[in-house]
């Protein structure tokens, strides 16, 4: 009875509110109607104008993602207005209809939420603040006390409380850095509190008021079973009371305000049907009913309201946030239906345990006490704030864990979460627990300080944890597991037989092999159960007959998962479900059309049980899905499959599932049974087959078939879809009319395929990795129909013995698996010189085992893969010899590492041949000037062809070539917003074709691969060249000398990030306690020019300006004291930090400048100040400490980084991060990395650095143009040309080949440049009418600092770019005497005004100039220089030319000292030098020969 009464009262209140609103004076707004509108809507517009406008104004000053999320916020408020208007015109829907009604608002909120997914952006806290605040708009979904929501006012307040956690982080970060961010947070808070809260309080305190007789809102389909009949509702009021049209005047409602309310109450319509309030009802509240509430009473009431019990919540709100609130004593809270786009927010919980079974975006614990949470994976972060005594266990991965204002927190981390970044602030008793070293599964505990930022990674765990035994055991376990089972080798387990052994016996057999995966054609529960706890991956399948039901009934898909997956997972490692088998080529159009819907329903079903991403959904295809597979580079899918194939590929791409294919070289041989085809199919020595399109030579059919699939996927735009081989094999017997079926052939194919997979060589289009491959088959299937071969693919017999041996058994002794060297009780022999090669007479099987062992233990075997420098001759003996020697050379050259089960020996005879160079020992053979000139690129046919082609080009003119539209189109290349136009080069399409052939002859691709693989391509200094590793993503693996250097790079980057943040937020202070705001970077050459270029480019970028506000960055390079004076003028030692950049800490100029600035600091602040005012970028910690710098403040870089390529190392990243913040510098690194990947993986005719490099070679070595002008039409790039001048001229200013042979052709180019339009008034005269100098024009589409003056024809930037577009055409077309005559130019001036034209240039257009594109521009030119050097055959990474001058300067330095201090005469120099030195010394020095104290610049 009470519930009915409450419902009636709520209904009455809603109607009273409607009357009150409807009786107010009407207000008109310009909405297209002539009638008056709802005052609530007018007030809502005022809310948007006043409060949302403030947020927008602040966001525009910040820009970027903050502005983007603010625009979405504006959209959300606009959508809510539309919904409020519709509510006034619609009847209240049921629950399902309400969800549909609110869908537009939910979509906007989801759009905002998507900005926070994935890797954290620089403005993550801003985004989370805005996104979490949008939950406040869900007040509109309140439908009554039973709807599970708080009242609208409380809901708005609670939503902001959740957002405030992140808004406070923004305030802390920016309160002393940028007021715009602070204003944005304050404006956002005001929008909700008081803005939206007061609005809701005024108009909708009990939720929205629906129209009782308006149009119908969406409703859900009614249930078949009707609910019990409820008491009759009170008679509804007339529609005019609550509907939109009621706001007009009416004689029946002439009174206004509360008078109208009471009038309506008196009429009886509202209260009709309500019972009279009796005395027993009155006893429920005996408070004074006078209606007057004093101030004191208000406060008491408020306090009591806040302290009373709040109803607990455990619900999914708006499909995005799991709200777990005020749960007390609940140990059974489980969220098992979640996805990576949802968040979990636990608030005010106590003595409870929450389990999150699945991946979510983020988890927050706020104001919880004695709370435990167990979760699997989070995408963004797990945050604990304002808590006491909580335990958090991460069973999977979490990029970030933060603990703020918390007392007592235990963090249990799994092995997968050791890479988590852990941040603590204002917290105590925080402990991290990790798996301990013991075998009892115990945990090791380690405390974190109250305020810290830590990153746990496997590389530094030994330092963090006292025991390293855990890591030793873990490493050994992984090593053994890798050796014993190989995840890329699988087997097909067919069951069309009546003689198969029991599943338990089969599992024991599999465990005795290196097979890592099993594919079933169905989902046999006995087999799946038998495979439990083995770790073997299981692929199960649905039958083709299941597809219609799976496609048409989502519940059937769920039942299938419930029956075939859930009873066994995760004990049985199910990794993929294949929907049907070879459906696309079945010819059944009905079945084909149901394939993707069936897969979609299966995907939804596994998502519903939180297995999405853990188990993939795919389907298996035959090779017949390809329309063309030969040559592999133009492989394509049959267009007859149309939209179905497109939908399928989109599904695979979207879910990360593989494209699964059945390539059978056996069937290819059956259609072409020639001996050479058999050898090609069996991985045996053969002549190979050249892809006529890509020019890649394939040496086996398997690679060719798989690469054809790769090309087909790439052509459809699905480069990210991986390939899995579901079936491949060779029958060992067959009918008399079947060719190629023999034990020998089957053993050769399967054995060589396994060896090929183990070598990790990959395919030409997918090098360096092995494709997951399921061999066909485990057993013969004696009941299979068809020819005899169909029943003869089994590798094992039913009695579990081998049909033939292909080295799958872990205990197989044929051949012997080479063993790693045993530890000798005596000291190892001294490292040996020479080469490790096979002994004579070793059988191929043993050599193959040696090859597999060497390539499987970390050495780079790319040289012996197809296209590699040592691939030919394609024999096991040749490949094994190369791999065995490489293993020996990279294993400390210990004789024990040249054993290979006593099948190898050391030799002093160099086994290198032709272009295949075997790495040598410590004492590398000295290559003499007499080295064969046949190795020079100029002796190749493509070079000679290009030389002859020059005569053809000389007969053309650019003004004619530019009229060929097709040619111009073909010379336009775009990548990531960058546009390269090289149509104004003196070249035709066949010129480029010839240059690409030259690249092939120079083995450009192989050289690029060698650089990225960390080989010592800098042979004169015996070093890798790995500046690409400096900007590689954290999870990338790039090795040098067997060590992944990327992890080392990120250790330094993380250290820079932390140090720069402390420097910028004032945590790092100087000697006098003042914050440091200014930086002087001391370095020379690459330590100066590169960072200066980037700094200059960012100085006028709006985002960088905001980050650098109040700071200065200067560079000191020249040893000239004038440069010292300029670098410190206006700086205060108290607020200055000096960064000394010197790898060895011995560079003469740099160290003299460093000592000078040390004296500048010491003289002002005392010698003890050096430790707080100077840091170093160096690897010589001994000299760093001796200098007075704390070694902890030294930032490392490596000998595989050349100085001119070091801007992406600590050399540039440290000073730039101090000035702009690490987040901006990280964007610069990402830009460079994007070009690295483009350079490495893009085909040459679309590859920006390759094209630029080839064109430079063409201009220099063939057309005879020795110089190049770099002309950026952007003043921010004024230091770009000087930097590239060093990169190019120091790299390629060589006269001998990498082998020391004198070059008989011109190499290297003279680089210079100046920003336009300055250069136009400087040296363009020479470019237009003097020498021919190829030009690089670099433009930017959007200016960093746009300017427009009213009345001008164009903006300042358009004026600049007008010249950018005009100058290349002027150089190309020129101006003829005939044109001048037609313009009436006096005859005597015609020779002076004639422009010959035909002067080559290229144009590079950047979308904008910011940190990201600056990184791209740098990397493009770095790799361009490398391409030139690779083609010319020189070493672009040493610089011996700078050494001689340094050496002579040492002699001069000694002479000047002796002459100054002792009066010694000048001796040992030629006449000219001695005379000039004498004149120099005769000038009176301002410094006495024995100065009493140091002398510093007078600034």
For residue 1209, the 8-state DSSP code is S
State the Rg of the chain over Cα: 38
Task: Give the span between the Cα atoms of 157 and 205, in whole angstroms.
Answer: 13
DSSP helix/strand/coil, 393: strand
1290 is catalytic: yes
Task: Give the span between the Cα atoms of 48 and 74, in whole angstroms.
Answer: 8
Question: 1321, 1342, 1392, 1454: which is the annotated catalytic residue?
Answer: 1321
Task: Give the span between the Cα atoms of 1087 and 1149, in whole angstroms.
Answer: 12
Count Cβ neighbours within 10 Å for each residue of 667-677 and write b for 16 or more, e otherwise: ebbbeeeeeeb
1402-1404-1409 Cα angle (round to 5): 155
| Residue showing tokens 């257009």 | 1405
* 1194 membership: H or E segment, kind and range: strand 1194-1195
Cβ–Cβ under 8 Å, residues 1319 and 1275: no
Task: Give the span between the Cα atoms of 1170 and 1158, in whole angstroms.
Answer: 7
DSSP helix/strand/coil, 630: coil
Q: Is the dihedral of CA 1441, 1447, 1453, 1455 positive or negative?
A: negative
Tokens of 1043: 């060590």
DSSP helix/strand/coil, 400: strand
Cβ–Cβ under 8 Å, residues 891 and 829: no
* 608 membership: H or E segment, kind and range: helix 595-608
Tokens of 982: 């090289």
Tokens of 923: 């004492």
Task: Give the span between the Cα atoms of 1216 and 1108, in whole angstroms.
Answer: 10
Task: Give the span between the Cα atoms of 720 and 1254, in whole angstroms.
Answer: 29
DSSP for 666-700, written as a single string: HHHHHHS--HHHHHHHTT-S---EE-TTT-PEE--
DSSP helix/strand/coil, 518: strand
Tokens of 1009: 């691969």
Residues in contact with 460: Cβ distance below 8 Å, sequence separation at least 6, in sequence order: 1051
Query: CA of 514: how far to CAs of 490, 680, 1143, in Å?
Result: 9, 26, 47
Task: Give the span between the Cα atoms of 259 and 16, in whole angstroms.
Answer: 11
Cβ–Cβ under 8 Å, residues 757 and 683: no
Strands 978-981 and 972-975: antiparallel
Q: Is the dihedral of CA 1092, 1094, 1100, 1106 positive or negative?
A: negative
Query: CA of 893: how far to CAs of 226, 822, 957, in Å?
Result: 84, 15, 59
1321 is catalytic: yes
Task: Give the span between the Cα atoms of 4 and 2, in whole angstroms.
Answer: 5
Task: Give the span between the Cα atoms of 1181 and 1144, in whole angstroms.
Answer: 9
DSSP helix/strand/coil, 1311: strand
Question: 264, 1290, 1309, 1428: which is the annotated catalytic residue?
Answer: 1290
Task: Give the span between the Cα atoms of 170 and 1045, in whole angstroms.
Answer: 34
Question: 175, 797, 1186, 1446: which is the annotated catalytic residue?
Answer: 1446
- Where in the sequence numbering do the catalytic residues fall? 1290, 1321, 1446
């Amino acid at each position: 009875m009470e519930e009915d009464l409450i419902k009636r009262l709520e209904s009455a209140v809603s109607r009273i509110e409607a009357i009150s609103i409807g009786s107010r004076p009407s207000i008109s707004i310009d909405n297209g109607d002539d009638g008056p509108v709802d005052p609530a809507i007018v007030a809502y517009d005022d809310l948007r104008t006043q409060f949302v406008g403030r947020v927008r104004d602040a966001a525009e000053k910040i820009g970027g993602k903050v502005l983007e999320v603010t625009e979405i916020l504006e959209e959300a408020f606009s959508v809510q207005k539309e919904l409020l208007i519709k509510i006034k015109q619609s009847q209240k829907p049921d629950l399902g209809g309400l969800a549909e009604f609110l869908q537009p608002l939910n979509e906007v909120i989801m759009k905002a939420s998507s900005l926070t997914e994935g890797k954290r952006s620089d403005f993550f806290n801003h985004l989370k603040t805005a996104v979490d605040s949008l939950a406040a708009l869900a007040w509109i979904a309140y439908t009554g006390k039973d709807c599970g929501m708080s009242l609208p006012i409380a809901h708005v307040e609670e939503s902001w409380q959740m957002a405030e956690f992140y808004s406070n982080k923004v305030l802390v970060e920016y309160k002393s850095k940028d007021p715009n961010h602070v204003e944005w947070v304050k404006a956002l808070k005001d929008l909700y509190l008081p803005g939206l809260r007061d609005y809701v309080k005024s108009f909708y305190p009990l939720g929205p008021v629906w129209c009782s007789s308006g149009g119908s809102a969406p409703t859900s389909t009614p249930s078949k079973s009707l609910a019990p009949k409820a008491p009759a509702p009170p008679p509804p009021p007339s529609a005019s009371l609550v509907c939109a049209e009621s706001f007009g005047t009416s004689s029946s409602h002439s009174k206004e305000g509360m008078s109208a309310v009471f009038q309506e109450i008196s009429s009886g319509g509202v209260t009709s049907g309500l019972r009279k309030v009796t005395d027993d009802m009155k006893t429920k509240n005996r408070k004074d009913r006078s209606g007057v509430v004093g101030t004191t009473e208000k406060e008491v009431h408020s306090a009591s309201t806040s302290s009373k019990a709040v109803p607990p919540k455990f619900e999914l709100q708006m499909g995005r946030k799991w709200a777990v609130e005020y749960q007390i004593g609940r140990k059974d809270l489980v969220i098992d239906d979640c996805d990576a786009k949802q968040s979990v927010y636990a608030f005010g919980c106590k003595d409870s345990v929450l389990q999150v079974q699945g991946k979510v975006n983020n988890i927050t614990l706020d104001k919880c006490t004695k709370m435990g949470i167990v979760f699997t994976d989070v995408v963004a972060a797990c945050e604990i704030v304002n808590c006491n005594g909580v335990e958090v266990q991460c069973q999977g991965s979490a990029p970030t864990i933060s603990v703020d204002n918390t007392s007592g927190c235990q963090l249990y981390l799994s092995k997968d979460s050791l890479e988590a970044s852990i941040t603590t602030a204002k917290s105590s008793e925080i402990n991290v627990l990790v798996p301990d070293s013991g075998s009892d599964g115990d945990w090791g505990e380690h405390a974190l300080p109250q305020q810290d930022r830590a990153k746990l990674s496997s590389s530094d765990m030994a330092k963090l944890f006292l025991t390293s035994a855990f890591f030793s055991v873990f490493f050994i376990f992984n090593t053994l597991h890798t050796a014993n089972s190989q995840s890329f080798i699988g087997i097909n387990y067919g069951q069309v037989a009546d003689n198969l052994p029991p599943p338990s016996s089969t599992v024991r057999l599999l465990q005795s092999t290196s097979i890592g995966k099993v594919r079933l054609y169905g989902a046999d529960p006995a087999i799946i159960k038998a495979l439990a706890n083995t770790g073997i991956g299981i692929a199960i399948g649905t039958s083709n007959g299941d597809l219609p039901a799976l496609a048409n009934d989502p519940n059937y898909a769920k039942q299938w998962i419930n029956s075939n997956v859930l009873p066994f997972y995760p004990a049985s490692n199910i990794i993929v479900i294949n929907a049907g088998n070879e459906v696309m080529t079945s010819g059944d159009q009905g079945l084909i059309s149901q394939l993707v819907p069936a897969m979609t329903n299966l995907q939804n079903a596994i998502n519903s049980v939180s297995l999405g991403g853990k188990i993939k959904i795919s389907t298996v295809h035959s090779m017949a899905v390809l329309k063309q597979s030969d040559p592999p580079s133009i492989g394509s899918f049959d267009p007859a499959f149309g939209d179905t194939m497109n939908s399928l590929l989109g599904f695979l791409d979207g879910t990360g599932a593989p494209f699964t294919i059945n390539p059978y070289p056996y069937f290819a041989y059956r259609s072409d049974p020639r001996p050479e085809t058999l050898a090609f199919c069996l991985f045996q020595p053969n002549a190979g087959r050249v892809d006529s399109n890509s020019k890649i030579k394939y040496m086996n059919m398997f690679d060719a078939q798989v690469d054809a699939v790769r090309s087909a996927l790439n052509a459809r735009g699905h480069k990210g879809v991986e390939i899995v081989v579901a079936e491949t094999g060779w029958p060992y017997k067959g009918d008399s009319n079947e060719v190629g079926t023999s034990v020998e052939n089957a053993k050769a194919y399967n054995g060589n395929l396994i060896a090929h997979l183990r070598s990790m060589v990959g395919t030409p289009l997918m090098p360096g990795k092995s494709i997951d491959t399921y061999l066909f088959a485990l057993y013969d299937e004696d009941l299979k129909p068809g020819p005899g071969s169909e029943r003869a693919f089994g590798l094992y017999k039913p009695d579990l013995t081998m049909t033939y041996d292909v080295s799958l058994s872990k205990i197989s002794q044929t051949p012997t698996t080479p063993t790693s060297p045993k530890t000798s009780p005596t000291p190892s022999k001294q490292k040996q010189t020479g080469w490790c090669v096979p002994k004579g007479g070793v059988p191929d099987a043993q050599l193959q085992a040696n090859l597999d062992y060497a390539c499987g233990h970390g050495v780079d075997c790319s040289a012996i893969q197809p296209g590699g420098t040592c691939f030919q001759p394609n024999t096991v003996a040749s490949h094994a010899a190369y791999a065995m020697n490489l293993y020996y050379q990279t294993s400390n050259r210990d004789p024990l590492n040249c054993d290979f089960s006593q099948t190898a020996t050391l030799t002093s005879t160099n086994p290198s041949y032709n272009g295949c160079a075997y790495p040598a020992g410590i004492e590398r053979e000295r290559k003499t000037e007499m080295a064969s000139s046949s190795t020079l690129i100029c002796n190749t046919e493509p070079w000679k062809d290009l030389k002859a082609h020059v005569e053809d080009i000389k007969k053309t003119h650019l003004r004619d070539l530019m009229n060929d539209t097709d040619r111009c189109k073909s010379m336009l290349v775009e990548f990531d917003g960058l546009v390269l136009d090289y149509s104004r080069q003196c070249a035709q399409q066949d010129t480029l074709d010839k240059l690409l052939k030259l690249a092939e002859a120079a083995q450009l691709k192989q050289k690029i691969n060698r650089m990225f693989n960390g080989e010592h391509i800098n042979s004169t200094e015996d070093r890798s060249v790995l500046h690409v590793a400096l900007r590689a993503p954290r999870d990338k693996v790039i090795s040098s000398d067997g060590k992944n250097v990327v992890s080392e790079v990120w250790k330094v980057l993380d250290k820079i990030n932390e140090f720069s943040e402390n420097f910028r937020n004032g945590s790092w202070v100087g000697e006098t306690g003042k914050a440091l705001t200014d930086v002087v970077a001391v370095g020379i050459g690459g330590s100066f020019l590169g960072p200066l270029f980037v700094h200059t480019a960012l100085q006028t970028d709006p985002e960088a300006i905001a980050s650098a506000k109040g700071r200065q960055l200067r560079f000191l390079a020249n040893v000239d004291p004038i440069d010292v004076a300029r670098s410190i003028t206006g700086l205060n030692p108290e607020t200055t930090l000096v960064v000394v950049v010197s790898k060895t800490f011995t560079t003469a100029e740099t160290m003299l400048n460093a000592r000078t600035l040390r004296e500048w600091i010491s003289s002002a602040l005392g010698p003890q100040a050096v430790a707080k005012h100077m840091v170093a970028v160096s690897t010589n910690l001994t000299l760093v400490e001796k200098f007075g710098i704390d070694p902890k403040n030294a930032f490392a870089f490596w000998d595989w980084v050349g100085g001119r390529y070091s801007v992406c190392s600590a050399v540039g990243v440290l000073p730039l991060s101090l000035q702009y913040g690490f987040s901006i510098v990280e964007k610069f690194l990402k830009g460079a990395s994007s070009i690295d990947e483009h350079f490495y993986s893009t085909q040459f005719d679309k590859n920006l650095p390759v094209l630029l490099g080839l064109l430079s070679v063409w201009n220099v070595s063939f057309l005879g143009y020795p110089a190049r002008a770099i002309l950026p039409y952007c003043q921010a790039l004024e230091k770009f040309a000087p930097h590239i001048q060093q990169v190019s001229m120091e790299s390629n200013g060589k006269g001998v080949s990498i082998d020391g042979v004198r070059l008989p052709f011109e190499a290297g180019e003279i680089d210079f440049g100046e920003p336009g339009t300055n250069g136009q008034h400087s040296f363009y005269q020479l470019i237009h009418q003097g020498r021919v100098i190829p030009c690089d024009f670099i433009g930017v589409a959007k200016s960093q600092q746009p300017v427009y003056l009213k009345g001008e024809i164009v903006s300042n930037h358009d004026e600049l770019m007008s010249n950018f577009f005009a100058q290349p055409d002027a150089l190309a077309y020129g101006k003829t005497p005939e044109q001048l005559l037609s313009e009436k130019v006096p005859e005597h001036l015609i020779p002076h005004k004639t422009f010959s034209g035909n002067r080559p240039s290229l144009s590079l257009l950047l979308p904008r100039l910011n940190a990201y594109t600056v990184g791209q521009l740098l990397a493009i030119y770095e790799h361009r220089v490398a391409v030139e050097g690779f083609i010319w055959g020189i070493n672009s990474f040493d610089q011996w030319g700078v050494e001689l001058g340094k050496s002579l300067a040492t002699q001069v330095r000694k002479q000047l000292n002796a002459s100054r201090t002792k009066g010694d005469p000048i001796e040992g120099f030629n006449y000219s030098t001695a005379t000039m030195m004498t004149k120099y010394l005769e000038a009176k020095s301002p410094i006495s020969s024995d100065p009493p104290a140091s002398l510093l610049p007078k600034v």
